[in-house]
Amino acid sequence: MVSLFDIVRQAQSGSAMSNMSRQFGLSPDQTQRAMEALLPAFTLAFQHSVQNPNTLAQLLDMMASGRYAPFFDMPGQFGQAQPSGHEILDKLFGSPEASRQIAAQASMLTGIGSQVLQQMLPALAPVVMGGLSRYSTLEGMSEFLRNWSDWLRMLAAMQPAQPSRAAPASGTPFGAWSDLMGAMMGQGTSRPAPRPDPQQAADPWSAFMQGFMKSVPPGASAPPPPAPPPSQPNPLEALSEMFQTGRDVQAQYLASLQAALGEFWRAQDAPRAAPSR
C-alpha cells in the first residue's frame, strides 16, 4: 500500500520533490529531510481525527471530493496551493499555532529554518490530500469514504454535548468506531482501551460491528454503518496504511512532535469556562 512519502515522491509525475526544492530554495537532500520531518504530523493528525466524528467526516470528504487531485497531478501548482493548504491544515490541526509547533520541531531535527518549513506545510498539504484522493479512487474507496462521511455526521448528531474536538464517550456508537480505528492505527484514544471481549470475532470489522451494536442505547435507532465494498484489503485498513509516513524518523523526534501536538490538542479539547456575567 502507498504511504505518504510515496505519495509526495510520485506526485506531479515524479517531479514534486524537485519542484518543491526550487520553490523553497532547498537542496534535494534538504527537501527529503524536510518531508521526512513534516509528514509524521499528518499521520498524527489523522490519528487524532478518529476521535471526533465531525472532524473525521470532513477529512473523508476532502479525500473523496477529488478537488485536490490537480495538486498531485500537475507540476507547478505549489504557488497556487496556499489557500487550499491552509484550509486543509485548519481541518487537520485546528489552528495556525499547530503549524508553528510542527515547523519548530522539524527545524530542530533538520536544521532547516522554521519559517521555510512553516511555508512548506500549506504547499505540501494539498499534494498529500490530492494523492490520497487519487489512490482512494484507484483502490475503489471513494464511494466508501463518502458513505462513511455521511454516516459519521449522523453519529455526531447522536453524541452528547461536548467540546467540538473532544474524544467520544466510551460506550457510545462513535466510541466503537474510534476504538476500531485506534487499534488499526496502532494507537489508543484518549480514554482507556476496553478489555477484549472473548466472544467477539477476531477480525477488526466484525469486532467493530459487534461493539457498535452493543453501544447503541436501548430504544435508540442508530443508523447501521455502511458495509465495506468487497475489495481487498479492507478499506479501513487500507486507509490507515495510506497515512503511514513510509520513512523511519528518530523515535525521540516523533515523541517530541507527538507531545507538542498532544499538548496543543488537549488545550483545544478542554471545556471552555462559561463567561462571567
- Average pLDDT of adjacent 10-residue blocks, the chain of 277 residues: 86 91 94 93 85 80 86 74 85 87 94 95 92 82 77 69 52 57 51 42 51 52 57 60 70 87 78 51
276 occurs within a structural domain: no
Distance in angstroms (rounded) separating the CA atoms of residues 194 and 266: 21
Contact 51, 190 (CB under 8 A): yes
pLDDT at residue 214, as a whole number: 55
Domain residue limits at 92? 1-270
The predicted model scores a pTM of 0.74
Q: What does R_g of the chain's alpha carbons equal in angstroms?
A: 19
pLDDT at residue 28, as a whole number: 95
pLDDT at residue 170, as a whole number: 52
CA torsion through residues 124, 126, 129, 131, sign: negative
Give the 3-state secondary structure of 182-225. HHHCCCCCCCCCCCCCCCCCCCHHHHHHHHHHHHCCCCCCCCCC
pLDDT at residue 202, as a whole number: 47
115 occurs within a structural domain: yes
241 occurs within a structural domain: yes
pLDDT at residue 143, as a whole number: 77
Instruction: Give the count of domains, the chain.
Output: 1
Angle at 56 between CA 54 and CA 61, to 5 degrees: 95
pLDDT at residue 269, as a whole number: 66
Q: How far is CA 68 from the centre of its chain?
A: 15
3-state secondary structure of 273: coil
210 occurs within a structural domain: yes
Give the DSSP letter of residue 275: P
96 occurs within a structural domain: yes
275 occurs within a structural domain: no
157 occurs within a structural domain: yes
pLDDT at residue 127, as a whole number: 92
142 occurs within a structural domain: yes
